[in-house]
């Protein structure tokens, strides 16, 4: 049960629609704040960030954790298992059976999840490790702090005052986004980045350099090389170069000098697509917190 003292009986922070966010100039601060924090996490924890740094891994890891938290909330809910993960993903074009099972095995190998002892050796049940809970908690808190920049809200304060909110916010958010094709199957301008390992970090870096007011079809953002980006996020230079090359061929980015030298530009379409795609996530998080607080206050 959520406990809030009389001093904290403020109106709940708003639950935003995506269109509201992209129309609000303060969303620029939200995106910049979030991107800076996420990129700092990537630099500090490059291996762990691999689980959320492309769209398929993001969806699989968040879905796995949704099972974990929902089971923690109510033991009658199914825990993490190969069967339960596949059941939650059934009918969604997110990952094949083999891909989902291999991902769960990878999470186990890297100690993101651990097996729950069972008398039935045929059943393999798992739970998230404490370190994984802490990592997703940091991810959610980072986004709540960014949302607070829009309306001077107290979402992050709520999350820190009531850690049990995480158990509800994460699965509520996940269930919204795995059912939203605009999130899991974004426009090609976004997919070029998000379908590649660590590509999400690259698009965060590039798109948030653009000013909020876009003047023209080309937005100059300063120097950006595959070498500098790769060094920042501890990924290979050749991998980063391939992502940037595909983006250049698609007309999404370019440079003032040959061979990707000098200042870099990004297309206004890329920036707009990025903002709306991120608005879907922030909207889902704002609604999840609103729902979770109301649920726990009952």
Chain segment 130-176, per-residue pLDDT in tens: 999 999 999 999 999 999 999 999 999 999 999 999 999 999 999 99
Q: Which residues contact 257 (CB under 8 A, 6 or more apart)?
A: none
Q: How sure is the predictor about 51, in pLDDT bands with cuts at 50, 70 and 90?
A: low
- Residue pair 90/79 in contact (Cβ under 8 Å)? The answer is no
pLDDT (0 to 100) of residue 203 = 94
Give per-residue pLDDT as tens, 87-109: 999 999 999 999 999 999 999 99
Q: What is the pLDDT of residues 231-248, one digit of tens each?
A: 888 788 999 999 999 999
What pLDDT sits at residue 246? Answer: 96
pLDDT bucket at 1, cuts 50 / 70 / 90 = low
Quickly list H helices, the chain: 18-22, 27-44, 46-49, 55-73, 82-89, 97-109, 130-151, 155-161, 166-177, 181-184, 188-194, 199-207, 226-233, 237-249, 268-297
Residue 284: per-residue pLDDT: 98
- DSSP for residue 210: S
Q: State the pLDDT at residue 7.
A: 44
Distance CA 71, CA 171 (A): 10
Q: Which helix (H) or strand (E) holds 265?
A: strand 261-267
What pLDDT does 117 receive?
85
From 71-75, 212-216, 231-235, 243-247, the region with the lowest mean pLDDT = 231-235
pLDDT bucket at 118, cuts 50 / 70 / 90: confident
Q: Give me the DSSP letters along 111-138.
A: TSEEEEP-S-TT--EEEE-HHHHHHHHH
Residue 93 CB-density burial (10 A; 0-12 exposed, 13-18 middle, 19+ buried): exposed
DSSP 298: -
In the chain, which residues fall in CATH 1.10.10.10? 188-272
For residue range 184-206, what is the model confidence (pLDDT) as tens digits?
Answer: 999 999 999 999 888 998 999 99
Distance separating alpha carbons of residues 271 and 239, to the nearest angstrom? 22
pLDDT (tens digit, 9 = 90+) per residue, 4-36? 554 456 788 899 999 999 999 999 999 999 999
Distance CA 271, CA 212 (A): 9
Residue 127 forms beta bridges with which residues? 114
pLDDT attached to residue 217: 96
Q: Is the dihedral of CA 30, 247, 228, 236 positive or negative?
A: positive
Tell me how far apart the terminal alpha carbons of the chain are, to the nearest angstrom: 8
Identify the CATH number of the domain defined by range 188-272.
Answer: 1.10.10.10
Find the mean pLDDT for residues 115-124: 80
| Model pTM score | 0.94
């Amino acid at each position: 049960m959520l406990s809030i003292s009389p001093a904290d009986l403020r109106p709940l922070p708003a639950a935003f629609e995506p269109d509201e966010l992209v129309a609000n100039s303060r969303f620029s601060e939200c995106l910049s704040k979030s991107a800076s924090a996420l990129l700092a996490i990537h630099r500090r924890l490059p291996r762990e960030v691999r689980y959320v740094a492309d769209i398929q891994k993001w969806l699989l890891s968040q879905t796995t954790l949704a099972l974990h938290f929902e089971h923690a909330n109510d033991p009658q809910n199914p825990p993490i298992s190969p069967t339960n993960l596949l059941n939650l993903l059934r009918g969604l074009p997110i990952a094949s059976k083999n891909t989902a099972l291999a991902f769960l095995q990878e999470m186990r190998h890297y100690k993101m999840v651990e097996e729950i002892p069972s008398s039935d050796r045929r059943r393999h049940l798992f739970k998230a490790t404490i370190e994984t809970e802490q990592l997703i908690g940091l991810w959610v808190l980072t986004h709540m702090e960014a949302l607070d920049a829009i309306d001077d809200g107290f979402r992050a304060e709520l999350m820190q005052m009531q850690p049990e909110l995480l158990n509800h916010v994460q699965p509520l958010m996940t269930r919204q986004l795995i059912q939203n094709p605009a999130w899991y199957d974004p426009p090609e301008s976004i997919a070029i980045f998000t379908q590649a390992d660590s590509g999400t970090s690259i698009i965060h870096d590039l798109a948030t350099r653009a000013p909020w007011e876009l003047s023209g079809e080309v937005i100059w953002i300063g120097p950006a090389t595959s070498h500098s980006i790769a060094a920042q996020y501890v990924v290979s230079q050749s991998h980063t170069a391939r992502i940037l090359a595909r983006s250049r061929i698609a007309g999404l980015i370019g440079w003032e000098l040959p061979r990707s030298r000098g200042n870099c530009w990004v297309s206004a379409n890329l920036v707009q697509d990025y903002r709306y795609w991120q608005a879907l996530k922030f909207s889902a998080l704002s609604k999840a917190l609103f729902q979770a607080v109301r649920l726990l206050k009952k």
